[in-house]
A and B are shown apart, each in its own frame.
Chain A
Amino acid sequence: MGSHDAHIDLLPDDILELVLLGLHSPLWLLRAASTCKRWRRIISSAVFALHGRRSVVAGSYYHQEASSLRPRFEPSPSTAAAIDAGNFSLDFLPGSISDDKCSWTIKDSRGSLLLLYYYNPKSGRRDLIVCEPLTRRHVVMPPPPKPPVFYWNAMAVLLNGDGDGGAIGMSSFRVLLCSYEYARIRACVFTSGSSNSSSAFLRETSIDNIPLSFCTMGFTAGRCYWQYDGGKAVVALDGSTLKFSSFMLPIENEENFRKMILTVGRDGDARIVAEGRGNILKIFARSKGGAGGEEWELEKTIEVTAVMLGLPQLQFFHLTSDQPHDDEGIVRIFGYDGGRAPDGTSMRFHLDMETMESERLPGCDLGYMRQAYPSEFPWPPTLRACTDDNT
């Protein structure tokens, strides 16, 4: 080990791994991984071993006030210094930047991908677009078979694909498009195609006899949910098996809910949270065991004013429109004073459904406009050309 032959290449893998993980920014790691194959192998396997498919949130996309403007990106505090937010711009997507008649809607985000709906009344185009902003790649979903889909109230969800070990990326994703037409909920699935710039219609399924008064609840823990008949009737669609199931929630006839939302419990299973009069939250969960069809039961009733002691000025509580999707066991609540205090106090909280602990959130409530669509760095780096070798 004389100094004449000292070289970074002579360091054993585990030491080099220690050095490389010391970079601890996706940006520096990717640059280091691009220097030579050995470094890329060490970085990919080390980061994979440490974090599996979990990635680092680079920031979030938000709708703009004018829907003709493409959604804007806000970096998260930890990445703001490391990377130019301009790299996340959606200016690479087709269509004229200055067209003020078209509209852009974020439908979903997952991993490093965004799912957007683009409508151009002039050309009549209605496109579902999957894109990866950082690598400036996009793919337009092919039109589903007839009848045409009514996009305006459709729910579209990004799901992990079958390729690349079930990860999500431009070469491995699925899109679940659920629309309502003629008393029917129809679900179409698209998948990433054989090349990185294509996608294909996979199959469709539907369920009949859904009244027009239905409400879309959203997607959580692998399933889409809709409810009707005051929340008593619920329909769920499994995103991977494409099987519909219907069940009833144990709700009394006289009960009247202002709002129903979806969240996830600590056990990873879905919860339906219903907001009743008098600051009451009712939490419904799927019954464990039980033969035959799916059954749900009332898991808990929360009196919000009782768990929000110490904040007597707040009189009314509502579930917010932007519920956290990845915080298990948490619901987001908006509390306000009903105009009693001169300064019109309002606050947002996270309420832990198990421990009843509440945590005040910074900032005020801006409603659905502030729905954040988090975007992660593409990770681990795929470097497709290099995936065949293991040198």
Chain B
Amino acid sequence: MEVDKGKGEAEETRKVAEADRDTVTLKSSDGKLFEVSKEAAARLSTVLAGMIAGGSIDDNGTDLKQIGSEALENVVDYCNKHANSIPSAALISSSISFNTAPFKEPEEWERKFVDRLSHDALFDLVEAANFLGMERLLDVTCHKISEMMKGKSPDQIREVFNIKNDYTKEELEEIRQELAWAFYDD
């Protein structure tokens, strides 16, 4: 190592060190800091990949004002778990189709990951994944919500998701008549 280092050289070294760091720091809307694997963040989020490539990552915590700490913690958790699992090229979601499942099936750990979330945390995570351009996480979370609807009657779906029924009485009667076959077990 050279003893007499110029200022410019020191700056250069700092930049190199920054670029060499294998994590990035993200800051939630309520000011909490989270470390995440740079490789996983760049691979899983188009938005973070753009920020990393564009050099707009702040070493003291990149501000993500749209995302609360709970959701960001889950995002980071997901990324780090993903970094530790075997990355596979097949994780990119397939196109949506009516007959075939629009998602690649979630892997076992992804299933467990979303299963432990509360409704609120799940919806927040969907929005965070959408904001960060995390296609795979979006697929996994949306898949979880779809699963929660399957096998339920309209009444049960409304109850689970706390949805207001805005059909009129007449419309509901018509739906009941026309779609009786779809509600046979009600």
Let me know if A8 and B161 touch, CB within 8 A: yes
Let me know if A3 and B120 touch, CB within 8 A: yes
Main secondary structure of the interface of A (DSSP, over half): helix
Question: With A15-B142, A27-B182 in contact, do A385 and B171 touch (Cβ < 8 Å)?
Answer: yes
Let me know if B167 and A1 touch, CB within 8 A: no
Let me know if B171 and A2 touch, CB within 8 A: no
Chain A residues with CB under 8 A of B145:
8, 19, 22
- CB interface residues, B 149-173, toward A, < 8 Å: 149-154, 157-158, 161-168, 170-171
* Interface-centre pick from A11, A15, A50 (highest chain B CB count, 10 A): A15
Convert A27-48 into 0s and 1s, putting 1 for each residue whose CB lies closer than 8 angstroms to a CB of B: 1101110111111000000010
How many Å from the CB of A13 to the closest CB on chain B?
12
Let me know if B175 and A23 touch, CB within 8 A: no
B60 at the interface (CB under 8 A from A): no
A84 CA to B101 CA, complexed, in Å: 22
Let me know if B99 and A78 touch, CB within 8 A: yes
Let me know if B162 and A32 touch, CB within 8 A: no
A306 at the interface (CB under 8 A from B): no
Let me know if B102 and A24 touch, CB within 8 A: yes
A23 CA to B138 CA, complexed, in Å: 15
Chain A residues with CB under 8 A of B77:
none
Let me know if A31 and B182 touch, CB within 8 A: yes
Name which residue of chain A comes closest to B177, CB basis. A135
Chain A residues with CB under 8 A of B142:
15, 18-19, 22
Stretch at the interface among B1-9, B40-48, B51-59, B66-74: B66-74
Name which residue of chain A comes closest to B125, CB basis. A6
Let me know if B98 and A11 touch, CB within 8 A: no
Chain B residues with CB under 8 A of A381:
178-179
Convert B97-120 into 0s and 1s, putting 1 for each residue whose CB lies closer than 8 angstroms to a CB of A: 111111100000000000000011
- CB interface residues, B 116-151, toward A, < 8 Å: 119-121, 123-124, 126-128, 130, 138-139, 142-143, 145-147, 149-151
Let me know if B167 and A135 touch, CB within 8 A: no
- CB interface residues, B 69-107, toward A, < 8 Å: 70-71, 96-103
Let me know if A30 and B96 touch, CB within 8 A: no
Name which residue of chain A comes closest to B150, CB basis. A28
Among candidates A4, A6, A20, A135, residue contacting B181 with C-beta atoms closer than 8 Å: A135
Let me know if A50 and B163 touch, CB within 8 A: no
Among candidates A22, A25, A31, A37, residue contacting B143 with C-beta atoms closer than 8 Å: A22
How many Å from the CB of A385 to the closest CB on chain B?
4
Chain A residues with CB under 8 A of B163:
8-9, 35-36, 39
Let me know if A83 and B181 touch, CB within 8 A: yes
* Interface-centre pick from B145, B164, B165 (highest chain A CB count, 10 A): B145
Let me know if A11 and B99 touch, CB within 8 A: no
Let me know if B184 and A22 touch, CB within 8 A: no
Chain B residues with CB under 8 A of A134:
181
Let me know if B178 and A28 touch, CB within 8 A: no
Among candidates B68, B153, B184, residue contacting A2 with C-beta atoms closer than 8 Å: B68
Chain B residues with CB under 8 A of A50:
96-98
A382 CA to B174 CA, complexed, in Å: 10
Let me know if A1 and B71 touch, CB within 8 A: yes
A336 CA to B142 CA, complexed, in Å: 52
Chain B residues with CB under 8 A of A6:
119-121, 123-124
* Interface-centre pick from A1, A35, A39, A50 (highest chain B CB count, 10 A): A35
Among candidates B66, B98, B146, B183, residue contacting A31 with C-beta atoms closer than 8 Å: B183
Chain A residues with CB under 8 A of B120:
3-4, 6
A87 at the interface (CB under 8 A from B): yes
How many Å from the CB of A25 to the closest CB on chain B?
8
Name which residue of chain B comes closest to A12, CB basis. B130
A364 at the interface (CB under 8 A from B): no
A298 at the interface (CB under 8 A from B): no
How many Å from the CB of B181 to the closest CB on chain A?
4
Let me know if A21 and B182 touch, CB within 8 A: no
A291 at the interface (CB under 8 A from B): no
B13 at the interface (CB under 8 A from A): no
Name which residue of chain B comes closest to A30, CB basis. B182
Q: What 13 new A-B contacts, CB under 8 Å, besides A22-B103, A24-B97, A31-B152?
A: A1-B67, A6-B121, A7-B161, A8-B145, A10-B123, A10-B127, A18-B139, A19-B142, A21-B98, A22-B101, A23-B150, A28-B151, A34-B167
Return 9 A-B CB contacts under 8 Å, by A number: A1-B124, A15-B126, A18-B102, A20-B146, A35-B163, A35-B165, A136-B181, A383-B174, A385-B170
Residues of A within 8 A of B (CB): 1-4, 6-12, 15, 18-25, 27-28, 30-32, 34-39, 47, 50-51, 56, 78, 83-84, 87, 134-136, 378, 381-386, 391
Residues of B within 8 A of A (CB): 29, 66-68, 70-71, 96-103, 119-121, 123-124, 126-128, 130, 138-139, 142-143, 145-147, 149-154, 157-158, 161-168, 170-171, 174-175, 177-184
